[in-house]
Structure 1
């Protein structure tokens, strides 16, 4: 369904989804808190991380040219793509030139952003998702619901049923270990037999031309070292000046994403296999993708380019925790998605996402690179209003509210009447409220106090 309201209603009516999301996001929130408490200079580290990203964004062209020169010197081939279609065409052309029938793909949100899975399918190239969660998503024919845990919307019970239906040698015991072993049997042979390996990149190191990947399962290494050809697809904002800068951001990424001091597998690739190397691909291609990033830098969204894709903003988002990732409808869910989707899909198609935010500021509070997400979301709201994208009913309703707000006596009379009416409608909790079905369809509303806040405030001052 394309309508945001319909997707939200579907998500809120799914009790299993709430359990699945809360299991993972709640655990991530708790682990991050412990990791931050054990990092006494974390706030200073956030400042430095933001400064690193801002410096790179301000000098993006110079660092990209430096990276290109060093990557080519190391034996890699560098390609440039302005749009998602251009990026997909470059990847497909490389695969066809290599005679690839199968590709092993390591988890990459950039790949999802540009529509690479669909492009590979249309080209008749079999895709093997090597990340366990992405493998689950591929079997279920779904999109990722989180940028770190793509299958967080599924319970282990649902995954068990999926594996039994789709694996050639499914698990016999209902344990996580047994299900993981079933996936390993299914994937290992396909990984090692792939003609081409495709990955994303967490960071691109300008002064060496190296590519950094971060995984929890080692799937990047298994899917990218054995194939003859390795293709990297990366957004141009992934660039960092040097290894020390990358290491600093890695410390922020792991703690913010999973609560770990460092992710299990952090690997740096510099060019293809050289004489004397025991393994590695014969060719390495790096596809640098713009896809709206230059426009973001020029049109007031440069701070969003700081994002290191940790997922902390969505793990702490009260809206995401209720509706999950698929309700957002785009590649990126949560607060970051509410900022990025209007860039990628256009504001007319996604104006409801910025409006769904409560602006409580928790996302900014936990962001490791201090992205002012609420400010950016308000910017989209203002633009939507200026361009007349809001429904006529909303504009009329706000006009009525503004008329009353400019007349304090009438406003107090109307709000007092509304308070009394709401108390009549419910004893303690309101289950149904006219014109407010969005609030009461899936939850009860606490009945208000007998007097408004201003009335109570004035009474307290008199005392």
Structure 2
């Protein structure tokens, strides 16, 4: 769901994020821990590369036969007693979910964390329908109290420090937490949410996987909130993108081995639950109705273009945790549902390139996101594809087009290029102090937040020729 027209431009959001020292502290705490835990998990999992190759093959197979597996899933889900709904876009998905809630005369809805729900604008739709929504994931509970959107797909409240969370709980919880330590605050949230779990009319969840041969949906959490969201209410609604399909439970577990290690550095989450239809005669608990809303929202278009590989994504968040840009500005600066490298690819699909052109250009192309992706998505290649499309459609500012045109003229004239390089390198040295350049004309957007290393004084080719000469003289 696009909010691009009401948001400040990306550069303004990024500038604000870079100026927020508390934000940087919060991001460093979480992404640094996530990076270290992932590295430890992979060092204890020597089969990772083989598992990654299998995961990529599973996703590619499903994408190539998506129509077959969608029909198989629908058939088996209906056989299990679930009702399957199809949504072509975010508006249709919102309408389906709100209609189910209104027809059930639902006054209170609990929701387990789901980025697909955020993508289709479900929180706003429920509010517009006059339905009370309670987020049950602890991090989502925090940002609901703060009136914010998620800043990360795994840790939605990672931009908030413990001290800030304590302030939110003091005002939002009745009674407030007994103390500000994590255990007291978790206990306060548990007390606050318990009555909501038991009093909800409808529970809404996402799905990490849709299992075609059983019609089951799979949720993965560490808090148990998904089970309390999907089991006590009389109606359970699942919203899921059509790309979440896997052929069988065995394939789901193959991908779970990758998902959990890449997301949190664990071997398995605390709760991995497969939901297969509503409550049956003799069951002790469970919903009376189960609805599954399968959402396209641009995914079919991706099947036919250069962004097809993005449909492999299992939403682990590893690309964000290792992204040098995300770790400086956080998730909100990206302005869409999905932040980081994967968001820079997906947001132009969801919101249109005109609204999201800056995101692919914010990437440094260092390639770390592709290195850590558990299903081998070539994210830098996809970001370059958006840049190329932006150029073809004439969306680049005039100054950028003029600058690249000048560079192209130099690059196609080797002698002129070498001369300009020599002049440029020597000229840059004039702005350096103590080995660094703190200010540079026409580069204020860069030097406002970081210093440039002062050049050596010679171009790479000059240094290379000198090295060759020394090497030849030493023979």
TM-score by length of 1: 0.99
1:416-435 pair list within 5 angstroms: 416-427=422-433, 428-435=435-442
TM-superposed deviation, 1:223: 1.1
Aligned residues: 463
Matched residues in 2 for 1:373 and 1:403: separation? 29
Matched residues in 2 for 1:66 and 1:407: separation? 59
Query: 3-state SS of the aligned residue for 2:430?
Result: helix
Counterpart of 1:181 in structure 2 is: 187
Counterpart of 2:382 in structure 1 is: 376
TM-superposed deviation, 1:406: 2.5
Counterpart of 1:456 in structure 2 is: 463
TM-superposed deviation, 1:360: 1.1
Is the 8 Å Cα contact of residues 169 and 185 (structure 1) preserved in structure 2? no
Matched residues in 2 for 1:426 and 1:302: separation? 45
Q: Using the TM superposition, name which of 233-242 and 445-454 deviates more.
A: 445-454
Structure 1: gaps of 5 or more residues? none
Counterpart of 1:114 in structure 2 is: 120
Counterpart of 2:327 in structure 1 is: 321
Matched residues in 1 for 2:358 and 2:456: separation? 31
Provide Cα deviations, 1:354-389, integer angstroms capped at 9, x if missing partner.
111111111111111001111111111111101101
Matched residues in 2 for 1:400 and 1:362: separation? 30
Matched residues in 2 for 1:166 and 1:396: separation? 53
Of 136, 146, 156, 1:140 maps to: 146
1:75-90 pair list within 5 angstroms: 75-90=81-96
Counterpart of 2:4 in structure 1 is: none
1:208-227 pair list within 5 angstroms: 208-227=214-233
Matched residues in 2 for 1:43 and 1:197: separation? 37
Which consecutive segments of 4 or more residues in structure 1 shift more than 3 A? none
Matched residues in 1 for 2:59 and 2:459: separation? 46
Matched residues in 2 for 1:410 and 1:368: separation? 44
Provide Cα deviations, 1:155-178, integer angstroms capped at 9, x if missing partner.
111111111121111113221111
Structure 2 residue 58 is the aligned partner of structure 1 residue 63: no
Matched residues in 2 for 1:140 and 1:71: separation? 37
TM-superposed deviation, 1:210: 0.5
TM-superposed deviation, 1:133: 0.3
Matched residues in 1 for 2:365 and 2:387: separation? 12
Q: Using the TM superposition, name which of 8-17 and 167-176 deviates more.
A: 167-176
Counterpart of 2:448 in structure 1 is: 441
TM-superposed deviation, 1:404: 2.0
TM-superposed deviation, 1:401: 1.4
Counterpart of 2:3 in structure 1 is: none
Of 356, 362, 366, 1:356 maps to: 362
TM-superposed deviation, 1:260: 0.2
Structure 2 residue 298 is the aligned partner of structure 1 residue 283: no
Query: 3-state SS of the aligned residue for 2:266?
Result: coil
Matched residues in 2 for 1:371 and 1:440: separation? 32
RMSD of aligned alpha carbons = 0.9
Matched residues in 2 for 1:403 and 1:302: separation? 34
TM-superposed deviation, 1:458: 1.0
Of 4, 23, 44, 1:38 maps to: 44
Structure 2: gaps of 5 or more residues? 1-6, 471-475
Provide Cα deviations, 1:245-299, integer angstroms capped at 9, x if missing partner.
0011011100000000001110001000000000000000000000000000111
Matched residues in 1 for 2:469 and 2:412: separation? 25
Is the 8 Å Cα contact of residues 49 and 368 (structure 1) preserved in structure 2? yes
Counterpart of 2:199 in structure 1 is: 193
Provide Cα deviations, 1:14-48, integer angstroms capped at 9, x if missing partner.
11111101111111111101111111111011000
Of 158, 163, 167, 1:161 maps to: 167
Matched residues in 2 for 1:407 and 1:375: separation? 27
Query: 3-state SS of the aligned residue for 1:425?
Result: coil
Structure 2 residue 409 is the aligned partner of structure 1 residue 403: yes
Matched residues in 1 for 2:175 and 2:230: separation? 25
